[in-house]
Amino acid sequence: MKFVYRLVNAILGALVIVASFFLNLFRIEIITGESLSGTIEALSKDKAGAVGLYEEFSIKRFIDFFTGKDDLSGLLSTEGKLFLWPDEFKPLNVRLIVFASAFVLAIAIGIFIIVFSCISERRLPMLIAGFAGIAMVIVMIVSFGSVSKSIFTNEVNVLSYLFNYFAGASIISTLIGSAVGSALSLSISLAGIRAGLMIIFICVVAWSAIFYLVELGDPSAQKEKDEKKALRAAKKAK
């Protein structure tokens, strides 16, 4: 039974790593503003209304994107320009760092669960790890949600900056970039990674709690536990 407990924990820890790599991390959507939406709806034969373009990115897709394997890799072609983090984006820095730190810590917790399950069957460290993982996911949701709000409300006008970056710094491109920024909205939100990691860490907590309750109802398990405590007490006494 203890082997099964440790095996399931190891699998759950491994799922944290797999989910972090393959599940979509965030979703980017470009949405037409009210004025542009009305124009599109007036010109559209089927009266479909606003047009939205969206893409979802996972860690794997990021790697493919920057190694030229993704269909959108052509967007990196900026005639030798090097993309530097602009001053306009600095209001997002702290929140993005908090998000990235929470994400990395969630992965580290997954690794801890794998390693600890290989060397011990103790429940308390697993319960703590599970709750810590849930806390990291909550921090990710809150911090990224704040970033999303700042971008969607144009507190940080990402679309306008990106248009000017790719089109150049001329007066015309600046004017067009401002128009683009007001006519379109950029929506960024967490994708499948949020639910995926939350479910896994909840399973870690639930599995340890269930196993603990089952053990409480097993007299032989309780007897073995008391014997181990007595043995540790004897070793300390020596």
- Give residue-wise pLDDT tens across range 4-50: 889 999 999 999 999 999 999 988 887 665 544 443 444 444 444 44
With H, G, I as helix, E, B as strand and everything else as coil, classify residue 54: strand
In a domain, residue 124? The reply is: yes
Residue 170 within a domain: yes
CA angle 79, 178, 44 (to 5 degrees): 95
75-128 pLDDT, tens per residue?
555 455 555 677 778 889 999 999 999 999 999 999 999 999 999 888 889 999
Find tokens 């393959």 and name the residue. 22
Residue 48 DSSP class = -
186 pLDDT tier (thresholds 50, 70, 90): confident
Would you state the pLDDT for residue 101? 97
Give me the pLDDT at residue 189, please. Answer: 86
Least confident of 74-78, 140-144, 231-235: 74-78
Identify the residue with better confidence: 218 or 193.
Answer: 193
Task: Tell whether 80 is covered by a domain.
Answer: no
How many angstroms separate the CA atoms of 13 and 10, rounded?
5
Choose the weakest-confidence range: 59-73, 127-141, 154-168.
154-168
pLDDT greater at residue 81 or residue 61: 61
Whether residue 182 lies inside any domain: the answer is: yes
Q: For position 94, what pLDDT does the model report? A: 94
Q: In total, how many domains does the chain have?
A: 1
Question: How many Å apart are CA 137 and CA 194, to the nearest integer?
Answer: 7
Domain that holds residue 91: 2-71+86-237
- DSSP state string for 172-218: HHHHHHHHHHHHEEEEEEE-HHHHHHHHHHHHHHHHHHHHHHHHHT-
pLDDT at 137 over 90: yes
Does residue 81 lie in a domain region? Answer: no
pLDDT at residue 50, rounded to an integer:
47
Residue 176 banded pLDDT, cuts 50, 70, 90: very low
What average pLDDT does the structure give for the chain? 77
